[in-house]
Each structure stands twice: as structure tokens, then as C-alpha cells.
Structure 1
Amino acid sequence: MQSPTYLLKKKSAFLFFAFLFFTQLALAHTITGYVMDENGRPIKDVYVYHEPSGSHTHTNNKGFFKIDDVEEGDELMFTRLGYSAFAKAVTDESEVLQIVLSRSSVDLDAVNITNEVDILNTITEADLEINPVTSSQEVLRAVPGLFIGQHAGGGKAEQLFLRGFDIDHGTDVAISVDGMPANMVSHAHGQGYADLHFVIPETIENISYGKGSYDKSVGNFATAGHVDFRTKDFVRENIISAEIGDFNYQRFVGLVQVLDNQNTSAYLATEYLTFDGPFDSPQNFDRINLFGKLNHIADNGDELSVSVSRFDSEWDASGQIPQRAVDRGLIGRFGAIDDTEGGETSRTDVNLNYETSLSDNEKLSTHAYYSRYNFLLFSNFTFFLEDPINGDQIRQQESRDLAGVDAAYTYTTNLSDHQLDLTAGVRLRNDRTEGSELSRTLNRRSTLENIQLGDINETNTSAFIGATWYLNDFLIDAGLRFERFKFTYKDALTAQYDTQDQSESALLPKLNFNYKVSDDLQLYFKNGIGFHSNDTRVVLQQTADDILPLSYGSDLGAVWKPVDRLIVNTALWYLFLEQEFVYVGDAGIVEPSGETQRYGFDLGVRYQMTDHLFLDSNLNYAHARAINEPDGEDFIPLAPEWTATGGLSLRDYKGFNAGFRYRYIADRAANEDNSIVAEGYFVSDLNVNYDLTNNLRLGVAVQNLFDIEWNETQFATESRLSTEAESVEEIHFTPGTPFFIRGSLQYRF
């Protein structure tokens, strides 16, 4: 039997430790606060770290944060890319902290690997800070693994390549700006046509992207991936700049803040560009952009953004030329067979985003947009193959009204003491075109024959639900997306009035996992079913089963930070498609490709060598094949196999900023049996800027630094010249820009 003294001591010890435990609880508090910049604007996605416990959180769009179990005297650390780190000791648990962060040079040490923030998009944000985009081409090249090529004057949308896809102008990658879609469904030139020339590069704040069909909130066109460009809510300094270069290149940009206070900001931006290019027949490219944006954050944290833009351009083009014409000396590399190609395009946009907190646990985001779009393009790909007298020039044109609304609701709760985010969203988009046309023409003046002419009305309704569970170091994200399409076409070439229509739906599950192995390593496994959408004119020529062929994909990847200023990201991926119907707008025909599969890997490295010197590199491999074709005849034309981008950058060093950039694409099959090969290239660019004063910057930029001979875009095309009796199928190409230098002068105030 235990003595009374022993029992008394045991009871006293229990009471003592209980006292310490409850005292500890009493001393631990929930700390809240706001993080602002030097002008009082909220900063979101600031990493708030509590060192004693290792817990952390991030600020929301109001700059607000809340972190538990903090004792008096504990220190909180605040870090955000592009801002100086700040430490704050908690001295009064009842105080709502007001933290001010100062802008600073980029430091990759501030990039934190957590499940709450998409680390790959943070890396891209760092890339933009280090290498700001200054041209419409660089806008797209900022996405790792995304390759582009221009092949019909400066006004036509770029051709895109990603993960073993020749995406044409946007067929399999969803592109948006502030949530407003850039891809045009059932476009006169091809499904998904995405012309980003309406974006002024200097207005871009960051880029959000994802590869594969794993995001429950993204639908149409996101087969290979999706990209959303976000414009600035405000400008930190007004900018007026002028650039002049070879080939009559001139570009003028203005970016001016017109309203600026703690709650409301507004700015205007404009761009004018003219460029003849290196071609024997000048392309006479001329473009003007206007953009205005107002952003308001109410005292309760509700945020409203309204933007309006206008874009106009026109150009001439030398088109793609056949290799044999250059080899025979009929034309030079920058010559033309038909130099009457070219076009005009314009776009007017109104875009509204509104975000509100319904309660501490509920958030609602709403979005509405409208675009008025006009497109006119003259092309000649086959020269005299179809019409040996007049030639094969074609005209493609349309006028379009595009409107849409969407909303997303998020409810945050706990499941087994771990945060659970429940989300739901809906979206409605309607595209109506007038006079979608494909016609044979002569010299841009005479209409020889209407091949297709009609009006398109396409409606896409979608909804999604999802749950994201933050289970310690695990993140589980599950979602289900529903897509519904209605396609309507009024054919103007039929003798009797007839409206054709068809509808189809798809149900698309997603399941993703993140595992934070340590503060320096994150693993992820993403899975999802998407779809390859089709042009209205394709749909109405196919059975219902073929309207929305599905895609099945997976990514297994890692993000690793072995040392403070080195970040490595890797991914192995696989993608299977049931069908790839392609509407060839240049011919008005449908080309089915059957089942396809692609697999490969991505590798990215970011290394900050010193406070001012940065190294980055991306290497991408893709194996793309048609499944049901014989070996050796199963190549997917123009699908890139090996691509690489990267460079060396100098930032804020004694007034200097500079960058050396490279891009590489390997040889690839131009047709199904690889008998025609599109040659690869390695091209380097250089830019150097020097701040003459605090307000005045002088710059020089050089494209194709080593003046190599390269072909920017290439196609295996059957064509016939006016002097030939028989047609020939071979590479037709648009030559890449030779050594091209331009100077710039920028005034900031």
C-alpha cells in the first residue's frame, strides 16, 4: 500500500503540471493583423511564420492573417517575394498587428515551399520579377515549356507548342486575361484561336498556369494546360518609353496612374507599334492598344476590378515559302511567292471582377465580361495547286460577340481538426459570330468562290464542386466538373433556311495530392480527365459520340529547394486522348487523328548566384504518337520532342539590368512517317539597360544575337508554283528574324 505522503506528492505533481499546461494555454493567443506596402495597399500571399511552433499562414487579398498558439515575446517572420523580410515580436496579444513591408530586390530565399500556395506559380512570379516581359511574344514565353512561333506577319496569333502538342493557335491550351478568355471557339481560322496582342506587356503583374487537365475550375481548351495572365491593380511608377530599331521598328508605351489612394487606384496604358520586318515585301505592321483599369478595395475587404480595352491592328505578310523556291534561287529566304497576304483584327473588351467575404469562413468571387471582336485574314498556302490561273488565296473573316459570367463560392471549415475548403462554381459563356467565312479570293479584292459562310451560336455552360483538405503535411484536392455545350449553325450557302444544332455533355473528375516532405521538398501527384473541344462545324459533321472526346492525364512531380537560393522542379507526365478532330480553317475540312498518347518529363532550375545574378533553365521532353497507326507511321506532325529555354540575368547592379536568353527546339517530324523533318534551332537574345538617373533608363535589345539562320515555323505542305506541272510536298517555312537590334529610352516618374 502506498503511503499518504507518496499520494500527496503525486497529487501535488499532477496539479503542478496541470497548472503549467493551462498556464501555457492561457499565455498562447491567436494573433491577427494586416500586411501593407509602403503606400498602404494590402499585400496578399505574404508568408507568416511562427518559429517556436513551426506553424505558418498566408495573408489573403485584404492582407489579413490569423495565426494561433503565439505567446507573448514570440517572433513572427513575414516574407514575400520582392519585399524585404520583416520580423515582429508579439508584445500585446490583443493588438491587431499592422505590418508594413518595403519593396526590395528579388531573393529566391523568400520562396517558401508550402501546400497553401502553388509553388510553381511563385517560381513564375520570380521569373517575371527577374525578366520583365516587354513584347507580346515574351508574354507567352514566360510560361515554362510553352513555345511559340509567328508565321503570317506580326498581327496573326502565334502558333503554340506545349507537351507534345502542336496547339496551332490555342486548340489545347486555355488562355485568359484577368479571367476573361482569349481563346475563340469555332474561329474562322481554327478552333481555340487565341490572339494575345490586345495585352500590353507592361501591364502584366503575374502569370498563373497549370499543365494538364487537373484544375477543377478550368474547363474548355485545358488539355495540355492553362494560362491566366493577371494585370496590375495599380502601377508603382508612371512610365513613358520609346523604342526604335532595325526594319523600321518603332514602339511607344505610356503607363500612367490617374487615381491613387488607400482604397482606390486607376491607371491608363497605351501602346503603339509599327514594324516592317526583315522581309523583301514590308509587312507594314501597325498596332494600337488602349487599356484602363480601376481597382477598389472597400473597408470591409470587398474588392472590385473593372477594366476596359481596345485593340486594332493591320498587316501585310509574305506567308510561308517553299524550301525548293529558295534552293532554286527563285526567291531569297525573306522573299515571297504571294505577298498579298495579310489581315486586320480588332477587339473591344469590358471585364469586371468582384470578390467579397460573406463571413469569416465564406468567400464569393463573381466575374462578367464582354468582347466585340473582328477578324479578317488573307492567306495562300498552296499557291497554284487548286487554281492554276488565279492562285489559291483564301479569305477568312468573322465578327463576334463574346459574353460570359461565372461565380465561385468557397466555404472553409475543419475536418478532424484540419482545414477543409469546400468550393463550387458555375460558368456561362456564349459566342455568336456573323458571317464566319472561308472564300477563295484574288489579290484581296475579288471573291471567286464562297466555300463556307454562316453564323455560329455556341453556348458553354459548366459547373464544378470540389474539396481541398489540408491534412498536416498532406493536401488532398478532389473535384468534379460538368460541361455542357450547345452548337448551332446557320448555313448561308444553302438554298433553303436551315438551322443545324447539336448538344453534348461531359463529366470530368479530378484528384490531386501534395505531400510536404520537409520545408525544402514537396511531392505532388495530379490526375484528371479533360476533353478536346471541337469547332461547331466539326460537331455538326460528326456523330454525338465524337463531339467531346475525353483526355486522361497524370503528373508525378517534385519541387526541391536543396539550398536557400536554388529551386528545382521536376515532373513525369502521361496523357491519352480518345480523339483529336481538327477543323482546318484554311481548307474548311475535318481531319480526325484517332487515339493518341503522349508522355514525357519537365525539368526546371532556378539559381540565384549572387544578390544580383540569376540563372534559370527549363528542359522538356515529350513522346507523342498516334496509337492505332503502324510503327513508323504514327508520328504526330510538328509535335515538339525536345525543347529548352533559359538564360542568365543581372538585376539592379549599380544601375544595370541585363539578360541573356536562349530557346531551343529539336528536329521533329513534319508528317506522319517522319519523311519530312522540321529542322530545330537554337536562338539567343540579349538585353542591357542602364539607369542614367533615378528617372531615366537607356536600353539596348538584340534578337538573334549570333545571327543564325533559322525557321520560326515550318509545315509539310503540298503546293504548286506557277511554273510547275506537278505539285510537291515539302517543308514550307517562315524565316526567323535575323540579327535585330533596337534601342529604348524610358522615363519613370
Structure 2
Amino acid sequence: MKQTLLFTICLLLFCSTVHAHLGGSITGTIVNNTSEQPLSNVAITLKSPQKVIYTNTLGKYRFDKLMAGTYQIEISLLGYVRQTISVVVQEDQAISVVTKLLPTAIALSQVTILQPQTEDQQLISSLDIKLRPITNSQEILRLVPGLFIGQHAGGGKAEQIFLRGFDLDHGTDIRLSVDGMPVNMVSHAHGQGYADLHFVIPELVQNVDFGKGPYQVSQGNLATAGYVNFKTRSTIDSNMIKLEAGQYDTYRAVGIFDLLGERGKEKQQSAFIASEYSFSNGYFDNPQKFNRLNLFGKFHGHLSEATRLTLTGSTFYSKWNHSGQIPDRAVASGLIGFFGSIDPNEGGETSRTNLNAELVTVTPNNNVIRHQLFYSKYDFELYSNFTFFREDSINGDQIRQKENRHLWGYNGSFTSNLALGNKELTSTVGIQYRQDLTKETELSHTKNRVETLEQYQLGNINEINAGIYIDEFLQLSPQWTATAGLRFDVFRNQYENLLTTPASKANASASILSPKLNLYYTPSTQVQIYLKSGKGFHSNDTRVVVPQNGRQILPAAYGSDLGFVWKPYPRLLVNAAAWYLWLEQEFVYVGDEGVVEPSGRSQRTGLDLSIRYQLTDYLYADADISAAKSRALGETEGQYYLPLAPLLTSAGGLSWQGAGRYSGSLRYRYMGDRPANEDNSLVANGYFVNDLQANYSFKKQQLGLSVQNLFNTRWKETQFATESRLQTEATPVNEIHFTPGIPFFARLSWSLFW
């Protein structure tokens, strides 16, 4: 009896296995017709039975368990001609097809909202990067809807960032990366999360992947307000030389050169090098003497049919003077002009060298394996004076912040697809590791950049962050999709204090678990509704958590979004969301003063709205509007404002593309008034600024005119409530200190392509 039962079970298993292998399959590859390089995230729609999938990082897709017959497959990607192909499938056979897509002009009518495509596919970002090519380094971050930046050190220092009711300083609660390599510097000499993107050559940015809120499981530390990953080009369309010249002794040169040519296309490989040099004296009364040099090289190609290797190397150096933040009273009294300075010896010097290697393999079962190794050598030295003569009435309060850093790490993941009846389950397991070693991270009192008067802090940092995550993407039905994820992070912080005798060394460790759950409902190709929820965190500076024996190393952040993507008309796309974010605790290290400022619990709520509209075949309009309410919890009435948190921002404009030789854009940026201190007694004034870009193309050449602050508005780009004392004053004064925004600034450019 037992033998008969065992035989029956084996027979049933055998039959089910045979049945599982019945039917044919279609394996396809999508490539660019010009470069022959694979195209990822291409929408592949099987007409009957209706099913939508997307090409992977190698441009491949696969349909299994198909009955014998002829199938219609529609292939679409923004910026390429949509194609429909017919494929004949025979029983128990695998059919392989290669499709080449032709580039075409952008049209909003091309955009469809498909399942299992989610809002995270960045429809808005895909449109913007094609309609508004980046022309300068500041425009890189402005590609993120609702994100504002401010420069308060003459262009050499990392920008101050504002997003979703946050004054993010230089990156405290936003995670920035380039090709998966981290940009943020933890436990930085100038402050936690410092993110300097100036090592990126703007013309090489191909795509921007971003998300607002703590909802993406692959994004860990600092991804509370959101994350941004800039992807550089894997191939170039042509060689290019670009020369720019403008007001204020401003000059820039860019060169991009293909190394493989036609030989590379035949092997589906590419290699190129690029370089950028910039110089400017700036619009300040004190000449800026700004210099920046960038070098970049990249190899991208197939080692085999299923394996792709990408190698990237870059180096960057910058040196500058800056006028710093000046007090309102000094300008009002006539002591200095609007573009003047109190301490003319402020400035800095920084460099970064990067190595990045990524290996991607697609298995015969269509699973994707990723390995990434990265390394950075980073140096930073900054001289600032925020309080002038408040602490030292004779020598002044100039400080030096300095560090030398080695950063390396690993990102790895395994993604598999599983059919559960008529449902699809995509599982990703990832591992991430990062280690930062700094030597002689310093905060000192200095004079004229030459003399060191007193060392406030000097030490070595060893910080490790290891994380593991699992992400599940489940298509519940043709209309419903869910993503669920769980992330676990471990931190180990070590600080060696070099100011003690002998040097003292201490450690602190902590861990945190971060769950995420997102739901998407797509009733038609015109609308999608989503609900996101998740827990995130930001780490605190090693110099803060080690003396506190590890308390509050990883305060949590809890957020949720309720929003929709809507395409009511073929040429109109709308994205809107209501959001909420609650932070458990923040201990912020203020690198300018070497102190810790605990800000307690906080709560932020807001609304985001993005609109993209194609007015004619060549004219496009866009607008992003963000409103936020930010409050410190547990504070008394009227004392709960979060300094510099933006309340209302908007950016948008008109873009002219695809109409023969002419292209360009007219844009605006608006930031409303906002509290500068906790009781709102000091207000940071808002601004409204316009920019213009106009291009004329002919015979593989292009002439360009770029104008910032078109109407020469007088505005304050960054503002702070600071207590300072001028040398002639008896007591300190607490008031607004600011960096003036750029006046009318015109640049001409000439580009040659071949």
C-alpha cells in the first residue's frame, strides 16, 4: 500500500513537472539602434493574454508558458519610436528576438501608465532629463521636483539643500549617490551627511532616479526626506568640445571623447573619457579665484551574452575664495556693499578620486545578480567665519575644518522572478557595506588661513555601516501591485581623540530594523493611485555618539504618502501627493562650532504637485509646487518652528525642443518667506528668480546663451539667524546673515560634435 501511494505521488510530481515545461517562450533583447547598447526599463506589452513586463539592466525580457500561436508584442520607451512585432511561438520551443529602437522627439502622448509599472519608474524624471538638458552643476539637483538648493561659499562648497519641509544643510536627511556610489560623507568635518556633487560633469548625467520619503528598501542611511541617484552615461552619441565664457571672468571648457568607435558597437562595448575645467572670479567684491578640474573615464560592455561589466574612474579638484555670510546691519549701515565681505580670507580646497566597478549577470532563468565595488580618496579644507569677533575680539573667529578620508564599500543583490498562477512575484535580496576612515579630522581656530590659534577637535574616525535587505514586488491582479521590504542595518563608530595625552580611543555600536510597505492601484492606463509607508533613519556624527556611549545613534523616521499619477489628456501628466513624516530624535553635530544641538522630536506634513503639459508639438510647460508645515514637538506655543524649513516653493517654466535648429527654456524659481529661528521673530526672505537658456544648432555645432537671474532681481540665496559681533561693536547682535544671490549673469557657449 505504501509503495503504491509513493508511486502515485511520484507520478503526479513527474506529470506536473512535464506540464510546467509545456508551452513555448519568448526571450527578447532591446537595443538602441544607434549605439547598439541594451536599453533597460523598456515597457514590453504582450497583447493577448494581456501582460506587461520591463527589460532588465541588460535590455532583456522573457515570456514563459505560452501556447503555440502568433503573439503581438508592443515595445515602448520614452524618446524612442514605439514598435509592434509579431512572434510565432511553437510548442515547447524558445524563440529569441532582437529589436532595435529608433530615437524620436519627445511627446507626452507616448507616456502611458502601465501595470506593473509603479510611480517609482519616474515618469516625471524621464521627461525632465530629456526636455531640460543639464547645463551647469547646480541644475543637477534641481531636476528633482520640489528640491531647492542654495550656495553660500562661492561655488566650491557643497550646496545647501531644501526638500519636504527640511533644511537639509548639506545632506543630513537626503541620500545622494552617483551610479550607486555614495556621495554623502558621514561624520564629515563640516557636518553629518555632507554631499559634494561637483565631481560630476553635468553633460554626462543621463538619468535621475529619485524618491521622496523613507519608502525604498535599498536606500538606507540618511534617506528620510528622500534619495537621489544620478546615473551617468554608459555611451556617448558623439565626441564633443564645449567652450563657455561669461561675465565676472567666467570660463569653462568641456571635452568628451569616444575611445572605441565602430569597433565598440560591434562588440556591444563602449569606452570614453571626459574632462571639465572651470574658472570664475564671481560676482562678489572679493575676487573668488574659483578653479575646478574634473577628469572622468568609463568602460561599459558585455563580457558575454549574459554578463555586463562597467568600470568608472574619476578625479576632481577645486580651490576657491568666498565672501561668506554677511549681516544685514553691515549692509544697511554702508560698512560693506550687498556683495561685500567681513572676513576676506574665507575659502577652501577639496578633491575626490573615485573608482567604481559593477558586474551584472543574468542567469538562464532570468535572475539578475549584481556586484559593485567602490572606493574614494577624499580631501577637504575649509576656512569660515560666521561670528566675526564674537569670541575673539582681537584675531577674529575664523575656523578651519579639515579631513582626509578613505571610503570603500560593496553593494550586492540577487533578483529572481516567480510566477504564482496568474500573479508575478519579484524578490530582491541585497547586501551593502561601507567603511569610512578619516585621518586628523580637525576643527581649529585660525587667523588669515595661516596661523593656528587653538585646536578645538582633532581625531581619527572609523565608521562602519553594514546592511541587508529583502524587497518583494507582487502583482496581485491586473490592477493591484504591492511592494514590501525589510531592511536591517548595523553601525560601529570609533573615535580616536588626538588632543588627549596619550590619544584616547572609544567605540559605540547600534542597529535598526526598517520595514516598508507600498500599494499601487492602476485601474486604467490614465491613472494610478498609491499609498506608501515606511520607516527610515539617519545616523549621527561619530564625534557625537561615541561620547554619549552610543545613545540615540540611529533615531527613526516614520513616513507615509497618499498620491496619484494621472493622465487626463494625451498631452497632460499630473502627479500629486499628500505626505507625513515624523522623526524620533535628532542630534545634529554643528561642524561650524564643534557642538551638539539636540532638536528633539519633529513632525512634517505637506502637499506636492507636479504638472507636465505639452502645449504644441515643440513647446512644453512644467510646474512643481510644494507646501509643507514643519513643527518641533513638545515645545511651547510659538516656540515650535523649525529654522529655515521651507513653507512654500515652486519651480517651473517653458521648454522649446525638437523644432529644427532652435531650442531653449525660460524658467522660474520661487521660495516663500520662512522662519529663521524657533519663535519666528527672524524671517528668511523669499525670492522669485528667472533663468533663460537659448540654443541654435547647425552643422554639428551649437551656439548657446545662458542667463541666470534674467531680470536682475536682488535676492538672498542663503540666510541664517546668527549671533555675531563686528569689531566696532561692544556686544553681539542676533540677526539675519546672508549670502547674496547671483545678479544678472550671462554666458555664451559653443559646442562642436563629431
TM over 0.5: same fold?
Answer: yes
**1:181 matched to 2:182:** yes
- Please report how far the alpha carbon of residue 300 of structure 1 lies from its aligned counterpart in structure 2 after TM superposition: 2.2
| Residue number in structure 2 paired with 1:15 | none
| Residue number in structure 1 paired with 2:40 | 44
- Mapped to 1, the partners of 2:686 and 2:713 lie a distance apart of 12
- CA offsets per residue over residues 116-156 of structure 1, 9 Å max, x none? 34445232021010001111100000111111000011110
- Mapped to 2, the partners of 1:644 and 1:198 lie a distance apart of 27
Task: Kindly indicate whether the alpha-carbon contact (under 8 Å) linking 1:31 and 1:70 is maintained by their aligned counterparts in 2.
Answer: no
- Mapped to 2, the partners of 1:503 and 1:455 lie a distance apart of 17
- Please report how far the alpha carbon of residue 30 of structure 1 lies from its aligned counterpart in structure 2 after TM superposition: 4.0
| Residue number in structure 1 paired with 2:314 | 309
- Please report how far the alpha carbon of residue 634 of structure 1 lies from its aligned counterpart in structure 2 after TM superposition: 0.2
**AA in 2 matched with 1:380:** N
Q: 1:168 to 1:350 in 2, by over 3 A?
A: same
**AA in 2 matched with 1:61:** T
Identity %: 49
**1:677 matched to 2:673:** no
Task: Kindly indicate whether the alpha-carbon contact (under 8 Å) linking 1:315 and 1:343 is maintained by their aligned counterparts in 2.
Answer: yes
SS at match of 1:390: coil
| Residue number in structure 1 paired with 2:571 | 565
Q: 1:355 to 1:276 in 2, by over 3 A?
A: same
Task: Kindly indicate whether the alpha-carbon contact (under 8 Å) linking 1:56 and 1:67 is maintained by their aligned counterparts in 2.
Answer: no
**1:441 matched to 2:438:** no
| Residue number in structure 2 paired with 1:7 | none
SS at match of 2:363: strand
Query: Map of 1:547-586 to 2, 5 A cutoff?
Result: 547-586=553-592
**1:79 matched to 2:76:** yes
Task: Kindly indicate whether the alpha-carbon contact (under 8 Å) linking 1:361 and 1:413 is maintained by their aligned counterparts in 2.
Answer: no
- Mapped to 2, the partners of 1:573 and 1:748 lie a distance apart of 45
- Please report how far the alpha carbon of residue 72 of structure 1 lies from its aligned counterpart in structure 2 after TM superposition: 5.0
- Please report how far the alpha carbon of residue 500 of structure 1 lies from its aligned counterpart in structure 2 after TM superposition: 1.2
- Mapped to 2, the partners of 1:619 and 1:391 lie a distance apart of 42
| Residue number in structure 2 paired with 1:522 | 528
Which of 41, 56, 61 is equivalent to 2:57? 61
SS at match of 2:630: strand
SS at match of 1:42: coil
- Mapped to 2, the partners of 1:589 and 1:721 lie a distance apart of 23
- Please report how far the alpha carbon of residue 31 of structure 1 lies from its aligned counterpart in structure 2 after TM superposition: 3.4
**AA in 1 matched with 2:241:** I
Task: Kindly indicate whether the alpha-carbon contact (under 8 Å) linking 1:303 and 1:356 is maintained by their aligned counterparts in 2.
Answer: yes
- Mapped to 2, the partners of 1:128 and 1:640 lie a distance apart of 25
**AA in 1 matched with 2:114:** T
Q: 1:51 to 1:357 in 2, by over 3 A?
A: closer
Query: Map of 1:659-678 to 2, 5 A cutoff?
Result: 659-678=665-684
**1:35 matched to 2:30:** yes
SS at match of 1:281: coil
- Mapped to 1, the partners of 2:56 and 2:487 lie a distance apart of 26
Task: Kindly indicate whether the alpha-carbon contact (under 8 Å) linking 2:26 and 2:89 is maintained by their aligned counterparts in 1.
Answer: no
Which of 651, 658, 662 is equivalent to 1:656? 662
**1:455 matched to 2:460:** yes
- Mapped to 2, the partners of 1:376 and 1:115 lie a distance apart of 49
SS at match of 2:443: strand
- Please report how far the alpha carbon of residue 107 of structure 1 lies from its aligned counterpart in structure 2 after TM superposition: 1.6
SS at match of 2:168: strand
Task: Kindly indicate whether the alpha-carbon contact (under 8 Å) linking 2:67 and 2:89 is maintained by their aligned counterparts in 1.
Answer: no
- Mapped to 2, the partners of 1:35 and 1:672 lie a distance apart of 55
Structure 1 range deviating more: 59-68 or 105-114: 59-68
- Please report how far the alpha carbon of residue 41 of structure 1 lies from its aligned counterpart in structure 2 after TM superposition: 1.9
| Residue number in structure 1 paired with 2:5 | none
**1:105 matched to 2:100:** no
Structure 1 range deviating more: 630-639 or 104-113: 104-113
- Mapped to 2, the partners of 1:314 and 1:672 lie a distance apart of 35
Q: 1:692 to 1:358 in 2, by over 3 A?
A: closer
Q: What RMSD over aligned residues (CA atoms) do the two structures have, in Å?
A: 1.7
| Residue number in structure 2 paired with 1:23 | none
Task: Kindly indicate whether the alpha-carbon contact (under 8 Å) linking 2:621 and 2:655 is maintained by their aligned counterparts in 1.
Answer: yes
- Please report how far the alpha carbon of residue 543 of structure 1 lies from its aligned counterpart in structure 2 after TM superposition: 4.8
Gaps of 5+ in 2: 1-21
Query: Map of 1:164-243 to 2, 5 A cutoff?
Result: 164-243=165-244
Q: 1:291 to 1:117 in 2, by over 3 A?
A: farther
Task: Kindly indicate whether the alpha-carbon contact (under 8 Å) linking 1:50 and 1:70 is maintained by their aligned counterparts in 2.
Answer: no
**AA in 2 matched with 1:323:** D
Task: Kindly indicate whether the alpha-carbon contact (under 8 Å) linking 1:263 and 1:298 is maintained by their aligned counterparts in 2.
Answer: no
- Mapped to 2, the partners of 1:238 and 1:264 lie a distance apart of 16
| Residue number in structure 2 paired with 1:610 | 616
Gaps of 5+ in 1: 1-26
- CA offsets per residue over residues 219-256 of structure 1, 9 Å max, x none? 01101000000011110111100010000110100111
**AA in 2 matched with 1:96:** S
The count of residues paired between Structure 1 and Structure 2 equals 724
**1:632 matched to 2:627:** no
**AA in 2 matched with 1:324:** R
- Please report how far the alpha carbon of residue 711 of structure 1 lies from its aligned counterpart in structure 2 after TM superposition: 0.4
| Residue number in structure 2 paired with 1:748 | 753
- Please report how far the alpha carbon of residue 53 of structure 1 lies from its aligned counterpart in structure 2 after TM superposition: 4.1
| Residue number in structure 1 paired with 2:629 | 623
- CA offsets per residue over residues 495-524 of structure 1, 9 Å max, x none? 222101111111111111111121111111
- Mapped to 2, the partners of 1:685 and 1:71 lie a distance apart of 58
- Please report how far the alpha carbon of residue 478 of structure 1 lies from its aligned counterpart in structure 2 after TM superposition: 1.1
SS at match of 1:129: helix
- Please report how far the alpha carbon of residue 359 of structure 1 lies from its aligned counterpart in structure 2 after TM superposition: 3.6
- Please report how far the alpha carbon of residue 419 of structure 1 lies from its aligned counterpart in structure 2 after TM superposition: 1.0
- Please report how far the alpha carbon of residue 91 of structure 1 lies from its aligned counterpart in structure 2 after TM superposition: 5.4
- Please report how far the alpha carbon of residue 67 of structure 1 lies from its aligned counterpart in structure 2 after TM superposition: 3.7
| Residue number in structure 1 paired with 2:742 | 737
**AA in 1 matched with 2:228:** V
Task: Kindly indicate whether the alpha-carbon contact (under 8 Å) linking 2:622 and 2:653 is maintained by their aligned counterparts in 1.
Answer: yes
Q: 1:411 to 1:34 in 2, by over 3 A?
A: closer
- Please report how far the alpha carbon of residue 110 of structure 1 lies from its aligned counterpart in structure 2 after TM superposition: 2.1
**AA in 2 matched with 1:684:** N
- Mapped to 2, the partners of 1:399 and 1:358 lie a distance apart of 41
Task: Kindly indicate whether the alpha-carbon contact (under 8 Å) linking 2:326 and 2:737 is maintained by their aligned counterparts in 1.
Answer: yes
| Residue number in structure 1 paired with 2:370 | 365
- Mapped to 1, the partners of 2:118 and 2:278 lie a distance apart of 35
**AA in 1 matched with 2:217:** K
| Residue number in structure 2 paired with 1:124 | 125
**AA in 1 matched with 2:31:** M
- CA offsets per residue over residues 544-580 of structure 1, 9 Å max, x none? 3411111111111110111112110011110111111
SS at match of 1:330: coil
- CA offsets per residue over residues 5-45 of structure 1, 9 Å max, x none? xxxxxxxxxxxxxxxxxxxxxx9964332222224222222
**1:542 matched to 2:548:** yes
- Please report how far the alpha carbon of residue 400 of structure 1 lies from its aligned counterpart in structure 2 after TM superposition: 0.2
- Mapped to 2, the partners of 1:113 and 1:298 lie a distance apart of 35
Structure 1 range deviating more: 169-178 or 44-53: 44-53
Query: Map of 1:383-532 to 2, 5 A cutoff?
Result: 383-472=388-477, 473-532=479-538
- Mapped to 2, the partners of 1:230 and 1:325 lie a distance apart of 44
- Please report how far the alpha carbon of residue 74 of structure 1 lies from its aligned counterpart in structure 2 after TM superposition: 4.8
**AA in 2 matched with 1:273:** S
| Residue number in structure 1 paired with 2:288 | 283
SS at match of 2:123: helix
- Mapped to 2, the partners of 1:429 and 1:221 lie a distance apart of 14
SS at match of 1:546: coil
SS at match of 2:565: strand
**AA in 1 matched with 2:54:** H
- Mapped to 2, the partners of 1:660 and 1:71 lie a distance apart of 54
| Residue number in structure 2 paired with 1:334 | 339
| Residue number in structure 2 paired with 1:690 | 696
- Please report how far the alpha carbon of residue 92 of structure 1 lies from its aligned counterpart in structure 2 after TM superposition: 6.6
SS at match of 1:183: coil
- Mapped to 2, the partners of 1:81 and 1:470 lie a distance apart of 23
